[in-house]
Structure 1
Amino acid sequence: MSRVTKRKHVMNEALWDDLELPKKDHSVVKVLKSMGNNLHQVSTPSGEVYLVSMPIKFRRNIWVKRGDYILVEPILEGNKVKAEIVKIFNKESIKFYKDNNIWPEEFDEKKNVGEKDNDGDLFENTNRNRLQNYSESSEDDSDSEGSSVDESNDLKH
C-alpha cells in the first residue's frame, strides 16, 4: 500500500466520516498538552488528568494539539498511560455528539465563554512590538527626551 493510500485510510478511520456513536468503554476527553513520544496529557469532564497514547497507525499522519477533543479507549494494564486515542473530533463530529446528547456538559463551549474568547485560536506574534496608546502629555515628554538624546549625540560627533 502506498504512503498516500495509507494516509487516506488512516485519516478516514481517525475522523470517522460516518459519525458513529461511541462504545460503552470510550470516553470524550480534552487535550491539555503534548508530552512527547506520542503521549498527550488529557482532562476528563470530571477533572481527572492522565496520559493517553497515540496508536502507531496514527503517528506521522494525525496531529493533536492543545484544546482538541478526542475519544479514548482505556488501557487496562496502564499505570501512567491509561488510554489510547481512538478518534479526533472535528466540528461536525462534535455537533453530531451534541445532537445525540452524548457530549459532556463540562466541555460545552457556551458554558465556558468567559474563559476563552473567539480570538484565542489565533497565533499571536511575540516578535513584533504592540502598538500602545499614550496620552498626549506622555507623547510630549517622550519627544522632548528623544530630542535631548539626539542633541547629545550630535555634540559628541
Structure 2
Amino acid sequence: MSQATKRKHVVKELLDDFVKPTEDQHIMRVLGSNGNNLHEAVTGSGERYLVSMPTKFRKNLWIKRGDFVIVDPIKEGEKVKGEISFILYRDHIQYLRKLGVWPAGFQEDRTSGDRSEGTPKERSERKTKEEDDSDSEDDDSDLFVNTNRSTVHYSESEEETDEEDEEKEDEGRA
C-alpha cells in the first residue's frame, strides 16, 4: 500500500469512526510533546503520563497541546505508560459527552473548537450576520496586530499646533 493510500485510510478512519473507550482505556489531554513521538498527557483525575504516538499516526496526523486522546495503557511501561489509540476531535468529544463517558475532570474545560459550535456553514453565517450588525465600518479592532513590534502611540496636543499656527501667522505679517 502506498503512503498516500495509507494516509487516506488512517485519516478517514479517524474522522468517520466514533469510538467509545473501553474500561482499560483512558481519555487524556495532551500537555505537550517531549519529542521522539512521545507526548505528556494528563487524565481527568490529574495523573500525568508519557504516551507514545503509534506508527500509523506518525507523519499522517498531528496533535498539539490541549487536544484530547484515547490512550491504551502499557502495563510493563516504566516511563511510557500508554499508547495513543484514537485522537478526539470536537464531534467525538460531543458524542462522548452525550453518552456520559466524558471524565468529570474535563467537564468544565472547553477547547477553542468547542467554543465555536456548529458546522462551518453555520459559523460563517453567524460571522456575516455579526459583521452586518456592526455600526462602524472604520472599526480597526478586527485587524491583525503584530506582537513582534512595539506599539507606539502618537498624539498631538492642540496647544502646540495652535502656537505653531500663530507663530507662522506672525512671521507672515512681518
Same fold (TM over 0.5): yes
Q: Deviations over 1:56-109 (max 9, x none)?
A: 11111011100000000001110010000001011110000000001112112x
Aligned to 2:7: 7
When the two chains are superposed, the root-mean-square deviation of aligned CA atoms in Å is: 2.7
User: Could you tell me how far 1:12 is from its partner in structure 2?
Assistant: 2.8
Q: Which has the higher contact order (CA 8 A, sep 6+)?
A: 1
Unaligned runs of 5+ in 2: 116-144, 161-174
Aligned to 1:30: 29
Unaligned runs of 5+ in 1: 119-123, 144-157
Q: Which runs of 4+ in 1 moved over 2 A?
A: 128-132
Could you tell me whether the CA contact under 8 Å between 2:21 and 2:27 is conserved in 1? no
What amino acid is aligned across from residue 7 of structure 2 in structure 1? R
| Higher Rg of the two aligned structures | 2
Could you tell me whether the CA contact under 8 Å between 1:32 and 1:66 is conserved in 2? yes
User: Could you tell me how far 1:131 is from its partner in structure 2?
Assistant: 6.3
Aligned residues: 127
Could you tell me whether the CA contact under 8 Å between 1:70 and 1:89 is conserved in 2? yes
Separation of aligned partners in 1, 2:45 and 2:101: 15
Aligned to 1:148: none
Q: Deviations over 1:113-157 (max 9, x none)?
A: 7xxxx6xxxxx854233466x9x7xx76xx9xxxxxxxxxxxxxx
What's the secondary structure of 1:103's corresponding residue?
coil
Could you tell me whether the CA contact under 8 Å between 2:72 and 2:83 is conserved in 1? yes
What's the secondary structure of 2:30's corresponding residue?
strand
**% identity of equivalent residues:** 50
Which residue of 136, 141, 148 maps to 1:127?
148
